[in-house]
Homo-oligomer: A and B are copies of this chain.
Amino acid sequence: MLTDVQKALDVLKERDIDRVYFVACGGSSSLMYASKYVLDREAETIDSDLYTSNEFVHRNPKKLNGKSLVILCSYYGKTPETVEAARFAREKGALTVSLTFDADSPLAQVSENVIVYHDQEDSNYVNESPAIMLELIFGLLAEREGNKKFNDILSSLENLRPILNKAKAETLAQAKEFAESYKDEKIIYTMGSGANYGIAYWFAICLLMEMQWIHSHAIHAGEYFHGPFEILDKDVPIIQLVGLDETRPLEERSLEFTQRYGERVIVIDAKNFDLTGVTESVKGYIAPLVLQTVLRQYAGELAEVRNHPLSTRRYMWKVPY
């Protein structure tokens, strides 16, 4: 565990916290969904909500106060809406803990507590933002409620890097096949539920829409049968995530239907990966991290074959908005 995470947990020990707000934008926000899932399932005394930063500031939740922990995240620490959200949260007396790569960034400067993380593939996995959030949340639950899964999470995250590397190696061929087969698609849906929904959302808005200019929409596997499934035909591509949390039956059901009536289904099922080293009690919470690593490689291959680098932008950081 990073020193910064331990320091944040020490601060949390001294504060009476009854709610957590997960606040960020885009990819950073999407990676918080799994932690909201954790709190919903585990927390006996702590409530939580998740908002995109600008919505949080304008919605101005009534219950935001000195007993709130606001967790924010921005890789470069410059996302204006998130910096503003941190400032706003502090004015309301909330305890702010911000995750960023840059210790000198605007976000770091306005936040009470900063956890500097490193999103590098060669570093120890526990230094990446979704992992840090799991440590923070389980640390909070352990401290306040005696939740017993903190050590399970820590050890599982410690063991995760080789698991991810293996999952990537095993799916490289599929990633290349996906890229070749789907490179001309104008729209590719994603689908998931529970702890994995945030990953479906991340892939839709960050990898497909933002970085490949391919239309997308992350369908919730439970909502599928109440509207979205009517667009399915043999030509509609859907990337279906299947995880290991309690909502797996939703994903299995939506997958079964999609495979029955569709012909362009890409399945990424966490049960196909060797998760030795991940404790059974937290597998459902860790699966999104594995799915994300595998999907990220799918995106890399797609970008390669389409000759559209993941770093290409026409608006982001280029024009005012």
Contacts and interface: CB of A to CB of B under 8 A. Distances in A.
B226 A321 contact: no
A210 B230 contact: yes
B247 A223 contact: no
A36 B54 CA distance: 17
Given A230-B316, A316-B230, A225 B321 contact: yes
A205 interface: yes
A292 interface: no
A146 interface: no
A29 interface: yes
A61 to B, nearest CB: 5
B205 A55 contact: no
Stoichiometry, as copies per complex, reads 2
A81 B250 CA distance: 11
A210 B249 CA distance: 23
A116 interface: no
Interface stretch (A43-51, A123-131, A149-157, A161-169): A43-51
A27 B227 CA distance: 8
A93 interface: no
Contacts of A62: 40-44
Given A40-B62, A232-B315, 18 more contacts: A25-B226, A26-B227, A27-B226, A37-B59, A40-B59, A41-B62, A43-B62, A44-B63, A54-B222, A55-B222, A55-B247, A55-B250, A186-B186, A187-B215, A209-B227, A213-B230, A215-B215, A230-B314
A222 B52 contact: yes
Given A43-B63, A59-B194, A215-B217, A54 B230 contact: no
Contacts of A313: 230
Interface in A163-222: 186-187, 193-194, 204-206, 209-211, 213-217, 220, 222
A227 B246 contact: no
Contacts of A19: 47
Interface of A: 19, 25-27, 29, 37, 40-44, 47, 49, 52-55, 58-63, 79, 81, 186-187, 193-194, 204-206, 209-211, 213-217, 220, 222-223, 225-232, 246-247, 249-250, 253, 257, 261, 313-316, 321
A111 B31 CA distance: 36
Contacts of A41: 59-62
B321 A222 contact: no
Query: Which 5 A-B residue pairings sit nearest by Cβ, starting from the closest?
Result: A26-B226, A217-B217, A205-B227, A210-B227, A54-B222
A58 B40 CA distance: 11
A193 B315 CA distance: 21
A36 to B, nearest CB: 9
B53 A222 contact: yes
Contacts of A44: 62-63
24 contacts: A25-B223, A25-B226, A27-B226, A29-B223, A40-B62, A41-B59, A41-B61, A42-B62, A49-B49, A52-B222, A55-B194, A55-B220, A55-B222, A58-B246, A58-B247, A59-B194, A81-B222, A186-B186, A206-B227, A210-B227, A215-B231, A216-B217, A229-B316, A232-B315
